[in-house]
Amino acid sequence: MAFLSKGHTPGQGIYSKNLDLCIQYILGSQQSNGLLNKGRSGNGVMYAHNISTLFLSECSGMVDPQTQDKLDQVLSRATRLILSSQAVKKPKQHQGGWRYKPDSRDSDLSCSGWALMALRSAKLNGAPVPDAAIKSSIEYVLRNNDKKSGGFGYSGPSGSNTLTGCGLLCLELSGYHGTELTYRAGDFILQSHQKIIGSGHEIYANYYNAQAMFQLGGKYWEKYAAWMYPHYISTQAANGSWPAKISPIYGTSMIVLSFSVPYRQLPIYQRDETIDEDS
């Protein structure tokens, strides 16, 4: 996704081989139940699945016909798994969301954000994603909103410096653009974003903040960008990477995705062209 975000595409250009290898690796990773996570276990399986599904969906239409046929089959099964995972019977406060495994009976906003993005991307590509599934996921996101502060919490309405950007992005891309709710979330980020520095999820929080504040536009993106670019450019290592708790590859990919927001190359993150860009 980092390659795609700067306009590099499969099949042509200097990074085409890298993208082709990524695509083939993910296409070959699908298990019989549709899960894109071959041979893996533990708490990260739905994260990997959701992000991989989103990546494949964003690549759809960019690949050769033979690869597209395979991609369509894999993507269809992957999307159905996300929908079936959402439909698992859960307590009311967790309904509509996702968590670590396909059969999880609880939800968290972090994993749910990736799942919702994957479903929206698939739907934009013509996949039969029911409107009810999107609606249910947004209702889950809203249950994690602290109406007083404007922030969003991990698994309840307690404003989080890490996940408010995730909640804001989900709403901005799902019909809530420019509402009082999203402006409050934007204000929360402007007031607290520097608190992410040094936290275990700093790179992750910045990624979602950047995507969300760009969608909100105006002073929100202007002020966040004025802080983000100089701050993170100054932390780049000599070899071009950015450090992160998980790995420098993860950290670098997430920073590239954050920096490349204005290029608008990824269809899922396209912004309403009516937003004022004078700033």
> Taking the domains of the chain in order of start, what are their residue ranges?
1-140, 144-279
Per the CB < 8 A criterion, the answer to whether 38 and 28 are in contact is: yes
pLDDT per position as a tens digit, 107-154: 999 999 999 999 999 998 899 999 999 999 999 999 999 999 999 999
The pLDDT value recorded for residue 105 is 96
CB atoms within 10 A of CB 47: 17
CA 232 to the chain's CA centroid: 20
pTM score: 0.92
Work out the pLDDT band at 265, boundaries 50, 70, 90. Answer: confident
Q: What pLDDT shows up at residue 273? A: 47
Q: How confident is the model at residue 40 (pLDDT cuts 50, 70, 90)?
A: low
Average pLDDT, the chain: 92
Rounded distance, CA 213 to CA 187, Å? 10
- Each residue's pLDDT tens digit, 205-228: 999 999 999 999 999 999 999 999
Q: What is the average pLDDT across 248-256? A: 95
CA dihedral 57, 60, 64, 66 (to 10 degrees): 60
- Angle, CA of 111, 162 and 207, to the nearest 5°: 75
Assess whether pLDDT exceeds 90 at residue 256.
yes
CB 251 within 8 Å of CB 2: no
Residue 178 confidence class, pLDDT cut points 50, 70, 90: confident
**DSSP state string for 79-144:** HHHHHHHHTS---GGGTT-B-SSTT-SS-BHHHHHHHHHHHHHHHHTT----HHHHHHHHHHHHHT
